[in-house]
């Protein structure tokens, strides 16, 4: 039983290393991710947008997707503030 557990842990470690190596091979355009998030945010919850970005741009990481959503939210809020200021 202990030997089987050790084997599973070693395999898990190797898969984790391979997954990190594979993710490092992919580079995503931050501007493209932010633009896609800006399109999705008005009708979706930010968590749903993060999940959609990760699904559409596999193997995009959670941190990168969250960063794109945060930047898109910031840009949308700035645009809304500018519109409100121009009306007054």
* Residue located via tokens 């580079």: 27
End-to-end C-alpha distance for the chain, whole angstroms? 72
**pLDDT value for 64:** 94
pLDDT, average across residues 4-27: 86
The tokens for 16 are 């984790």
Higher pLDDT, 8 or 87: 8
pLDDT (0 to 100) of residue 78: 94
Would the pTM of this model clear 0.85, i.e. be above it? no
What are the boundaries of each domain within the chain? 27-87
Closest CA to 36 of 15, 57, 19, 21: 57
Expressed in percent and rounded to 5, the helix, strand and coil fractions of the chain are 85, 0, 15
């Amino acid at each position: 039983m202990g030997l089987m557990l050790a084997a599973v842990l070693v395999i898990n470690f190797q898969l984790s290393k391979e997954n990190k190596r594979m993710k490092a091979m992919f580079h995503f355009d931050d501007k493209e991710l932010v633009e896609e998030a800006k399109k999705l945010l008005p009708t979706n919850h930010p968590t749903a947008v993060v999940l959609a970005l990760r699904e559409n741009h596999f193997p995009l990481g959670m941190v990168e997707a969250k960063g794109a959503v945060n930047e898109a939210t910031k840009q949308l809020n700035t645009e809304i503030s500018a519109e409100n200021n121009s009306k007054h």
